[in-house]
Structure 1
Amino acid sequence: MLSEEEYAKVAKESLIQYPIICDELVYLGKSDNVTFLVHTNDENQKYLIKIHISTSSNKTKDNIESELIWLEALDGDTDLFVPVPIRNLEGDLVTEISTYHNDNKFIVTIHHWVNGEVLMREPTSNETANLALLMAALHKHSMQWNAPDGFNRPIYNSDHLYLSLNQLKHLLNLELMSSEAFAYVEESAHKIANVIQSHKRLQSNWGIIHSDLHESNYVFYEDIPRPIDFSNCGYGFYLFDMAETFLHLSFENRKIFIASYSKVHQLQENYIELLEAFFIWSIIRTFAFHSLNPIEHQSLAESFPSVIEDYFIKYLKGEHFLLNSHEN
C-alpha cells in the first residue's frame, strides 16, 4: 500500500499523458479511489484525478471506461453539469500507470472539477424538489440512450441483493449482529428478491442509474444540484435509485421528492410498495458496504436493534413506513 506522497507521484506521472498543466496537486482522500484536486493557472479550469485502487470485480478497466462513456453521453445529450472525463493524449478515457518501484499498474482517470457546495445538513424543500428533477433528468436520458457494445456496468438485481446479504453474515460471525436480527434481514431479503424477480423490466422503469445519489455524491451550485461520483452507476430499477436517495431524506422531503419527480415521470400505482422493498434493500446494501470497514463495526452493531424494529419488522408485517413514521 502506497503512502500519500507515493500516490501523488502516480498522479503526477499520469498528468504527463494529459493536455493539463498542473500548478498545484491537492490530496483529497482515499476510499475505493485515491483522489486529488488539480489546480491550473486558470481558476475556472480544475480537475479531479482518480487513482482506482479497489480490487472489486466491478472496477476493471472496461467497467470504469463504461462509467465514463455514460458521463460523456450525459454531457453531450443533456444540460446537466456532470464530472466530464478528460481523454488522454492517445484519446483514451482510462490511463494505466506503472508505479515507480514495482510492476503494479494503476488505472487513472481525470475529470473536470464540479464546482458546488456539499450539504452538511438536510436539504431544504426547494433543494429536495430540484434534486428530484435531477434524478428525473438522469432517468429520462437513460430511457432514451442506447449503450454501445461492450458497455459493462453492475446489475442491481436479486443476485446483487444476496451478495450484500452474504457480506452481512460476516457481522453475524463476529457476534456484532444477533442471530435473531439476521433472521429478520434474511427473511426480508427473500421477500425483496421475489419483488425484484416478479417486477417486469420495461424501458420506463429500468435502465442505467446513478444508484448512490446521496449528500456526499451531489453538490449544490446556486440551488441547482450537480451529481458527482458515478462509480456505482449500473443497471437497475429507477425506483431503486430513488430508494437509495430516500435513505438520506426526512419523511417530508421524501414526499416532496415524489411530487417533484412525478411532474416528469408518472409513477406506477404500486410505487410505495416497490419503494419500501427497495428501501430495505438499500439498507442491506449500505450496511454490507460499511461492514467491510472494521472501524465502523461497533457503530453498526449499535444501530442494528433500532433499524430492525423501525424498518425490517414493519416491512415483514406489511406496515408502511416510508412516508410517515406513524402510518399503519
Structure 2
Amino acid sequence: MGGQMDVAKLLTVYPLRNPEVEFIRHNENMTYRITDRANGKSYLLRIHKPITENLQGIQHTHEGLRSELQLLEDMAAQTELIVQTPVRTLSGRTVAVWESAGEAVPYTLLNWIDGKTLEREDLNEDTGVRMLGRELALLHRFLRQYPDSPPLTRPRYGLDRNIESLERIRYGAEIGIIGSGDMDTIEKSFARINLRLGELESRPELWGLIHADLNIGNMIVTERGFGFIDFCLSGFGFYMQDVAHCALSVRKESRDVFLDAYAQTFPLPAQPIDHLSCFMLAAIFGNYAFQMKNPAKRERIRERLPIVCETYCKPFLEGGESIF
C-alpha cells in the first residue's frame, strides 16, 4: 500500500467530496494530509501499518484505536485543550479497515489543526515555557479523572518497557553499530534507571493515563496557544514520563520555570529531579530503540549513541551534574 490511487479508495468511506492526497511520512503509521478541495478543509489520514515490526503494538489493534479516538472525542467535548478529533465514516465508525490479500489494516481520519510545529525558539522566553508547563498540567488533570470503564485498550509504560528498549538496543550491538564499550555504558545506565524508577511503583498517585510521546514534533503552536497532537502511543505510565519528554525541548536554564508552571496545576512528587533525569535518559534511549531495526536510521544511531554515552550516561552514572 502507499500509492495515491489506493489512498483515494480508502477515503470513499468518509464524507469527503473532492479529496487531494499528500504523503507525509511512514513511521509508526503511514500518514497523509488530505484536503477536500470542495471546502478547503484538511484532515490527517493514518494507516496503522508501522514501517518496522518493532513499532507494532496494542495501539494498532481495532480496540486500541477505538480507545484512543474515544479519548480524543471526550477531551474535545470536556476541555478547552487543543486536540485533533476523529472523523467518523459514513456508517458512523471511528475506525475503518482496508482488506487485501488476507490482511486487514485499520485506518483512521482526524481533523487537521492549523498551526505550526513548536520550535525551540518558541521557548526562548519564560512566557512560552510557562505556557507549555501549564498546558501539560491541564492535560494530566483531565487524564487523571478520565474513567477507565470500560477498560481502555492502551499500552503500559512500566519498567518492562525499559527492558524492551534495552533488548532492542542490544540488537544494535549484535549487528555492529554499537561498540562494546558504549553498550556496557548503556547497560549500566539502564540498571540505574530501573533501580531509581522502581522506587515509584509503590506510588499509585504518580501513575495514570499519559500522552507518552511528547517530543517537540508532537507539540504545535496555534492562534489559541500550544497544543499536543499524535496520541497514537498514549497509554498508562508515570506522569513524570510526559514531564521529562517535554523538558527535553526546554533549555536547561528554563526547566525550573517549566516545572513551576506545571506544579501550579498538577502535583509533582517531592524532589523530582533525579527521577526526571532517569525518565529523560530513558526517553532518549527509547527513541533509538524504536529505530534500531530501520536500516535508514542506523548510520545516525552509529554516530549519535557514542555522544549520548559521553554527554549524558557517564555523568549520570558518576552521580555528577543532573541531566535535568
Provide the residue aligned with 1:190 in structure 2.
191
Distance 1:236 1:312, change over 3 A: same
Aligned-partner Cα distance in 1 for 2:99–2:168: 32
Match of 1:51 among 41, 47, 53: 47
Three-state SS of the structure 1 residue aligned to 2:177 is coil
Aligned-partner Cα distance in 2 for 1:249–1:84: 27
Aligned-partner Cα distance in 1 for 2:198–2:260: 27
Distance 1:179 1:81, change over 3 A: same
1:103 aligns with 2:102: yes
Contact kept in structure 2, 1:116 and 1:226, CA below 8 Å? no
One-letter code of the match for 1:109? Answer: T
1:22 aligns with 2:18: yes
Provide the residue aligned with 1:82 in structure 2.
83
How far residue 247 of structure 1 moved from its aligned partner, in angstroms, is: 2.6
Q: C-alpha root-mean-square deviation of aligned residues, in Å?
A: 1.9
Three-state SS of the structure 1 residue aligned to 2:13 is coil
How far residue 244 of structure 1 moved from its aligned partner, in angstroms, is: 1.6
Q: Which consecutive unaligned segments of at least 5 residues does structure 2 have?
A: none
Match of 1:33 among 29, 42, 47: 29
How far residue 15 of structure 1 moved from its aligned partner, in angstroms, is: 2.3
One-letter code of the match for 2:280? Answer: F
Contact kept in structure 2, 1:247 and 1:282, CA below 8 Å? no
Aligned-partner Cα distance in 2 for 1:228–1:11: 22
Q: 1:90-114, CA deviations, whole angstroms, 9 ceiling, x for partnerless residues? A: 3221111224xx3332211011111
Matches within 5 A, 1:117-136: 117-124=116-123, 125=125, 126-136=127-137
Contact kept in structure 1, 2:95 and 2:107, CA below 8 Å? yes
Aligned-partner Cα distance in 1 for 2:85–2:256: 31
1:149 aligns with 2:150: yes
How far residue 291 of structure 1 moved from its aligned partner, in angstroms, is: 1.8
Contact kept in structure 1, 2:165 and 2:286, CA below 8 Å? yes
How far residue 223 of structure 1 moved from its aligned partner, in angstroms, is: 6.7
Contact kept in structure 2, 1:85 and 1:111, CA below 8 Å? yes
One-letter code of the match for 1:240? Answer: Q
Provide the residue aligned with 2:241 in structure 1.
240
One-letter code of the match for 1:306? Answer: I
Provide the residue aligned with 1:264 in structure 2.
265
Aligned-partner Cα distance in 2 for 1:200–1:167: 24
Aligned-partner Cα distance in 1 for 2:224–2:193: 35
Contact kept in structure 1, 2:134 and 2:261, CA below 8 Å? yes
Aligned-partner Cα distance in 2 for 1:69–1:148: 12
Aligned-partner Cα distance in 2 for 1:23–1:281: 41
Match of 2:39 among 42, 48, 58: 42
Aligned-partner Cα distance in 2 for 1:267–1:120: 26
Contact kept in structure 1, 2:316 and 2:323, CA below 8 Å? no
Provide the residue aligned with 1:175 in structure 2.
176
How far residue 88 of structure 1 moved from its aligned partner, in angstroms, is: 1.7
Q: 1:278-306, CA deviations, whole angstroms, 9 ceiling, x for partnerless residues? A: 11211221121222222222222222232
Contact kept in structure 1, 2:43 and 2:112, CA below 8 Å? yes
Provide the residue aligned with 1:9 in structure 2.
5
Contact kept in structure 2, 1:195 and 1:277, CA below 8 Å? yes
How far residue 201 of structure 1 moved from its aligned partner, in angstroms, is: 5.5
Provide the residue aligned with 2:296 in structure 1.
295
TM-score (norm 2): 0.90
Q: Which consecutive unaligned segments of at least 5 residues does structure 1 have?
A: 324-328
Q: 1:47-94, CA deviations, whole angstroms, 9 ceiling, x for partnerless residues? A: 111111125133222112211121112112111121101222332211
Q: How many residues in Structure 1 have an aligned counterpart in Structure 2? A: 316
Distance 1:76 1:21, change over 3 A: same
Aligned-partner Cα distance in 2 for 1:251–1:120: 15
The range that moved more, 261-270 or 156-165, is 261-270
Distance 1:253 1:290, change over 3 A: farther
Distance 1:20 1:202, change over 3 A: farther
Aligned-partner Cα distance in 1 for 2:275–2:209: 18
Matches within 5 A, 1:201-220: 202=203, 204-220=205-221
The range that moved more, 117-126 or 138-147, is 117-126
Q: 1:1-20, CA deviations, whole angstroms, 9 ceiling, x for partnerless residues? A: x3x42xx3333223222223
Aligned-partner Cα distance in 1 for 2:236–2:187: 24
Provide the residue aligned with 1:326 in structure 2.
none
Contact kept in structure 2, 1:212 and 1:245, CA below 8 Å? no
One-letter code of the match for 2:297? Answer: E
Aligned-partner Cα distance in 2 for 1:112–1:90: 18
TM-score (norm 1): 0.89
